[in-house]
Amino acid sequence: MIEVSSVEAAQCIRDGDTIAITGNGGGMLEADEIFAAIEARFLASGHPRDLTLVHALGVGDADRRGVNRFAHEGMVRRVVGGHWSWSPRMQKLARDNKIEAFTLPSGVISLLMRETGAKRPGLITRVGLNTAYDPRLGGGAANDAAKAARPISEIVTLGGEDYIRYLPIRPDIAIVRGTYCDELGNISCAEEAGDLDAHAVALAARNSGGRVLVQVREKRKSSDCIARLVQVPGVLVDQVVLAPNQPQTHVGGYEPSIAGVPHAAPAPDTKFAGLSLPSGARGIIARRAAGEIRAGQSVNFGFGIPGGIAAVLTAQARLKDIWLTVEQGIHNGQLIDGALFGAAAFPSAIMRSTDQFDFYSGGGVDIAFLGAGEIDAKGNVNVSRLGRDVVGPGGFVDISQGAKSVVFCGTFEASGLSVHASGGRLSIDKDGSIPKFVEDVREVTFCGPSALAKGQSVLYVTERAVFRLTKDGLTLVEVAPGIDAERQVLDRMAFRPQVASDLAAMDARCFVEDFGGDGGASLAKAGGGHA
């Protein structure tokens, strides 16, 4: 292990290199000082250029940090990313076909790094079958430049069943982050909000003949380091950059509780904030969705509207009754919403995200709550391509295909929708200008027919109506009190769904301002409405 400056680390990157990075939106495990040095070198000299960038999760702040550091024309040639929303500049390069833009499920990318590092023949998995990541349906190629490039996956048949083989990606450079290192280069993430896929990314580069660059806040003596807190052993590490001002997240400073320190009081100068009860349409959806949860279940919440469900459960004193996980490797705790989604205060365990994705793809989640951008008559869902932009699926595919039950949560329409609830009834103040129930989704991120074939329970919750996936397709099963089913639901859909013969009203308790306490518990016991 050699200690270098960020400028020196940036100098070791060559034109055409493949770079794999760690990180998560909000700055979790993001080596931004190294990223900034690489960016500065490119802006000054035009090098390194024609890079391939690989990242499993969204990395950045939707402005200048993270993946945004690489979003300059000529700097990158190809990006394989799990989630793109934190870098609008990279999204623009993809939209303009200035790069080859590939999206893959986040778990696929992280696990592919591990498989590459182990010299196995790529990642062979069912994750992605019959979605936009199936090589027969595009293979994750998200723009014309990617569609013209060499595929990154193929179908293989084992024991008479089809699988996707995601081909190995061999990084020339891995850039990861930790809290501190010792003299031997052992890296600990002890004060980070997550471990993510740091070990897998470093392993992939090291065993592919590449170099591993690590950014840490400080260097300690080996005698002051605990072996069990080492996430990346020194044998994998080539260069270490000390960044004394490295913040724990983009919020800044150090918050012990999100690093899993038990009984830690919030730092006095922190801007850290936990969950607040969702309001408006998001609050209605979160309340109704929370009614699907039973005590003892293993539960996953996705980013966006589903992230508000944890606050509802907290208000109802029900969070303690479930086992909560998110894809970043967090188990239980007080889930944080918004830009720091993926972290939690006082988690009971922080695992590698690779281990978490193994849990998901193996069917470890009883019920998952995920967002929905578009929904069609077959129950297909699109969250990965919205408007003109490449968004990517994040962990959506890994989670939705493995969970026993899935509840999709989203507003009935987008762009301009305004609603209010009063006295147990819903009123639509202004309709949204973009329909979300469409004839055919632009991109299949979740395949309804495949879910039916394997017996998954699938529900779609909006602020005004609830739908269930049945053998006859999407079926309307509940309508909000105060809503005209024909005029305000069915007439505003691009297709005519089935309508349940026992069409029910959504529980009126979803349409009140105070939904904590017994009301929420009673709704959960009642089964959340139509069964």
Q: What distance in Å separates the CA atoms of residue 112 and residue 9, rounded to the nearest whole number? A: 25
C-beta separation of 181 from 330 below 8 A: no
Known catalytic residue at 327: yes
Contact 383, 372 (CB under 8 A): yes
Given the residues 292, 327, 443, 463, the one annotated as active site:
327
What is the token pair recorded at 508? 């009126």
Helix, strand, coil shares, percent, the chain, to 5? 25, 25, 45
With residue 77 as reference, give the H or E element that holds it.
strand 76-81
Compute the distance between CA of residue 341 and CA of residue 387 in angstroms, rounded to an integer: 23
Q: Tell me which H or E stretch contains 108.
A: helix 106-117
Question: What is the C-alpha to C-alpha distance for residues 40 and 32, in angstroms, rounded to an integer?
Answer: 12
Burial class (CB in 10 A: 0-12, 13-18, 19+), 15: exposed
Task: Order the strands of the 51-55 sheet from edge to edge.
Answer: 2-4, 239-242, 211-216, 173-177, 18-21, 51-55, 76-81, 100-103
Structure token digits, residue 149: 């490039």
Measure the CA–CA gap between 194 and 340, rounded to whole angstroms.
11
Buried b (16+ CB within 10 A) or exposed e, 99-138: bbbbbbbbbbbbbbbbbbbeeeebbebebbbbbbbbbebb
| Contact predicate 133/122, CB 8 Å | no
Pairing, β 344-345 against β 334-335 = antiparallel
151 secondary structure, DSSP code: P
Tell me if 143 sits within 8 A of 181, measured CB to CB: no
Could you tell me the CA-to-CA distances from 339 to 251, 300, 353, 416 in Å, in that order?
A: 9, 18, 18, 22
The position carrying tokens 């009203």 is 505
Which helix or strand (DSSP H or E) is residue 430 part of? strand 425-430
Q: Which residue's entry shows tokens 């999709």?
A: 408
What is the Cα–Cα distance from 235 to 1, expressed in whole angstroms? 8
What is the DSSP pairing of strand 425-430 with strand 418-422?
A: antiparallel
Say whether 47 sits in a helix, a strand or coil: coil
Place of tokens 């996953």: 300
- d(CA 164, CA 121) in angstroms, rounded, equals 12
> Which element (helix H / strand E) includes 3?
strand 2-4
Q: What are phi and psi of 152, to 5 degrees?
A: -110, 10
Taking the C-alpha atoms of residue 214 and residue 240, their distance in angstroms, rounded to an integer, is 5
The catalytic site residues sit at: 327
